[in-house]
Structure 1
């Protein structure tokens, strides 16, 4: 079975979301979690260097769910709060995977994000180009999801086919919010220079800027759209410098195509046709 929720292959990016302070004596804990014992582990469906995603059954309801385990405390604990918060902010949108619970293992200190079990990785289906009509249908869903994300002032920062689920019936859901973060005010730098997957990162991130916004998600969606239409990644380089060079080459190629089309259009105009006014 294909991975239902793509497991991160890297540690979630650090952010300035502070870890909860130790509770003072006789004070109620700031965060309350369910117990991971409420969930029966069934099988691993995704695995990375720092976390595991497994299929589980809610012992209370019998519902099948996807559970992402983040080991240990410290920065990882803070990352769980950030990821869960970003998912919760987008709760209810049909094109974003839904968070159901946050659970803890009292013995190990591990935290778990419990999500709906939905479909398989979209990457597994990108073995050929899709038609323009099908691409439009998919992109409408993804763009609507991005609209919801950004309306809640959330950046995903790692949109790619591996982080999209295809559910029965053809619906798409954006998943894996391990790199997501609350949006900062315009001009405010993020702590990290670049997060996410290099081939889907925007040029400003690749050039080292830490000041960016929703455009980074829109760039990634553009890369996904190109992949839907061609059946292969838009950029396939191994270094940031090479990806930037491919971006420049593509820009030059598109400019040349546009100029050629413009010249051809003018030369093929019917004799006597009225020219449009220049603006």
Structure 2
């Protein structure tokens, strides 16, 4: 029987700001690009909705390649916030070209008549990791460990470009053929250059926010993604989110602090819902992300975990 999993609260919009074009590169004013045309692509079907627009399946008219296209309307919200987020997402995806387990960008095109922007990426034919958890429930440990190996590799590659994703969760992981995973939706991403000007709780998704974000710190680093990965690891093993039915940031902070206290007192036994036959290595992986995240939060640590076989 498929496990019933609640859908996480909606995420908040990220503030404006470009992502690095390459690791170690300086942030420069965005130049005026000569974008290609959306009319080079034939629309095939609507796949769904992302943070700032509709996602389509399309085909390049010349090459025949099928791609995914995120359509961002120039008039969304009336203040250009959608376009700013799309430019930021495109920059972050471009910085991560060639990275394992990260969705690959193909092109950025426009409709000159409307001013709408379109992000063209590879097409991953499959479900999201959220869909898989809802359908199958908890993953067997070997399968969960393989999934986490891919996600940790992907997050480490993102961090190596000087970028924070800030919204890692099952909904933002695509599952391709053979179980290949792709981290997607970089609409919340930002260069890893604290302090950050915005409210730290104004980005991301509530159930996956790190302790330092919930406590109001503007000096967080890559460890916020490590915390989210730990929440995903728990969810894969337990078949349900680590935190459920929480609607406010204050309540979420209390739950996180309570869990941290229980971890210090009881170790991995503090995690309710993990399989009783979970191996020591599997427990270490959850422990790595959730317990040690707080200890390393200000050191800029990346997603490097104990070896996942």
Q: Which residue of 2 aligns with 1:266?
A: none
- C-alpha separation between the residues in 2 aligned to 1:253 and 1:65? 46
For residues 122-161 of structure 1, what are the structure 2 equivalents within 5 Å?
122-127=129-134, 128-161=137-170
- C-alpha separation between the residues in 2 aligned to 1:224 and 1:190? 27
Bigger relative CO (Cα 8 Å, ≥ 6 apart) = 2
Q: Residue 73 of structure 2 is aligned with which of 71, 80, 97? A: 71
Q: Which residue of 1 aligns with 2:111?
A: 105
- C-alpha separation between the residues in 2 aligned to 1:130 and 1:165? 16
Gaps of 5+ in 2: 1-9, 19-26, 271-309
Q: Relative to structure 1, is the Cα distance of residues 52 and 260 closer, same or farther in structure 2, using a 3 angstrom cutoff?
A: closer
Number of aligned residue pairs: give it: 244
Q: Which residue of 2 aligns with 1:44?
A: 46
TM superposition shift of 1:79: 2.0
SS in 1 for 2:178: coil
SS in 2 for 1:65: strand
TM-score scaled to structure 1, two decimals? Answer: 0.81
Superposition RMSD in Å: 2.4
Q: Relative to structure 1, is the Cα distance of residues 19 and 147 closer, same or farther in structure 2, using a 3 angstrom cutoff?
A: closer
TM-score scaled to structure 2, two decimals? Answer: 0.73
Question: Does residue 1:121 correspond to 2:128, yes or no?
Answer: yes
Q: Residue 89 of structure 1 is aligned with which of 86, 95, 100? A: 95
Q: Relative to structure 1, is the Cα distance of residues 200 and 10 closer, same or farther in structure 2, using a 3 angstrom cutoff?
A: closer
- C-alpha separation between the residues in 2 aligned to 1:108 and 1:20? 24
Deviations 1:192-216 (A, max 9, x none): 4330101001011112222211011
Q: Residue 165 of structure 1 is aligned with which of 169, 174, 183? A: 174
SS in 2 for 1:169: helix
SS in 2 for 1:126: helix
Q: Residue 198 of structure 1 is aligned with which of 201, 206, 223? A: 206
Q: Which residue of 2 aligns with 1:24?
A: none
- C-alpha separation between the residues in 1 aligned to 2:249 and 2:13? 20
Q: Which residue of 1 aligns with 2:3?
A: none
Q: Which residue of 1 aligns with 2:17?
A: 16
Q: Relative to structure 1, is the Cα distance of residues 124 and 16 closer, same or farther in structure 2, using a 3 angstrom cutoff?
A: closer
Contact 1:126 1:228 in 2 (8 A): yes
- C-alpha separation between the residues in 2 aligned to 1:147 and 1:136? 16
TM superposition shift of 1:131: 1.8
- C-alpha separation between the residues in 2 aligned to 1:125 and 1:48? 18
Q: Which residue of 2 aligns with 1:25?
A: none
Question: Does residue 1:234 correspond to 2:242, yes or no?
Answer: yes
**Could you say which structure has the larger radius of gyration?**
1
TM superposition shift of 1:58: 0.9
Deviations 1:106-148 (A, max 9, x none): 0110001000111321111103111221111111110001110
Greater shift, 239-248 or 98-107, is seen at 239-248
Q: Which residue of 1 aligns with 2:302?
A: none
Deviations 1:74-108 (A, max 9, x none): 33322222110100111112300100000101011
- C-alpha separation between the residues in 2 aligned to 1:203 and 1:51? 30
Question: Does residue 1:223 correspond to 2:231, yes or no?
Answer: yes
